[in-house]
């Protein structure tokens, strides 16, 4: 009986030791997970496509100043005060950007999926995306910003999801994207699992796809 009792105590001690170790492992795991999340969040902040506060600012006065400036501008990408919004673009002029309806996009998505290319719905922070086109019509961005400030609509939540590439370039919805990026808003997107350049290649000649038309947008910085 004494030997049996000693054996049970030994097994109990081993089990307790294991529990302590499991607890320690769990604590270390939780610590590492929290550290990883902190690093991820810091990286997300650091990787914001452009420093929002420097571009527009967060106060009502700075937003009003942007709206005043925009009335005197044509192309945001050509104005030194706001050109950061267009950094890293693919050099595609607005007049060469594809335009398509919701229906045409649906057809294009089915065409891609038929070739084994996925089109997934995601939520991303707008300022982490990059513009493909090298022109942004100032008055268009200003008008959307004014409507948003007036509560007429919420450009980051209303309307169809943005179309983006797997390398995080905006394919469709640049002016609405600019408004949302300024506020670091989360936006709904359809992400096509192809690089932007390949997507533009495939859109050329696809039934129903047209090109944008806006005076003077046939050269980068020409607005």
What does the domain layout of the chain look like in residue ranges?
1-46, 52-211
**CA distances to 84, 113, 124, 138 from 120, in Å:** 29, 10, 12, 31
Q: Which of 7-11, 48-52, 108-112, 184-188 is the least confident region?
A: 48-52
Q: Which residues does residue 99 pair with via DSSP β-bridges, in sequence order?
A: 210
> Would you state the pLDDT for residue 155?
83
Q: Mean pLDDT, to the nearest integer, of 119-126?
A: 94
């Amino acid at each position: 009986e004494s030997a049996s009792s000693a054996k049970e105590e030994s097994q109990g001690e081993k089990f307790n030791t294991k529990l302590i170790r499991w607890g320690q492992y769990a604590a270390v795991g939780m610590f590492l997970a929290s550290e990883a999340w902190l690093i991820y969040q810091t990286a997300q902040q650091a990787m914001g496509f452009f420093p929002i506060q420097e571009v527009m600012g967060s106060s009502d006065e700075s937003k009003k100043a942007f709206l005043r400036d925009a009335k005197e501008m044509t192309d945001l990408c050509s104005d030194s005060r706001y050109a950061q919004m267009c950094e890293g673009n693919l050099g595609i002029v607005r007049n060469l950007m594809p335009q398509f309806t919701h229906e045409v996009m649906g057809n294009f998505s089915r065409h891609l999926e038929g070739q084994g290319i996925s089109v997934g719905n995601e939520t991303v922070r707008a300022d982490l995306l990059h513009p493909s086109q090298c022109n942004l019509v100032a008055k268009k961005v200003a008008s959307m910003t004014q409507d948003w400030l007036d509560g007429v609509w919420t450009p980051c939540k209303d309307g169809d999801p943005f179309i983006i590439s797997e390398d995080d370039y905006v394919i469709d919805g640049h002016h609405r994207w600019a408004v949302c990026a300024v506020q670091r808003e989360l936006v709904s997107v359809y992400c096509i699992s192809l690089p932007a350049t390949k997507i533009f290649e495939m859109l050329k000649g696809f039934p129903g796809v047209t090109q944008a038309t806006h005076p003077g947008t046939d050269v980068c910085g020409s607005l």
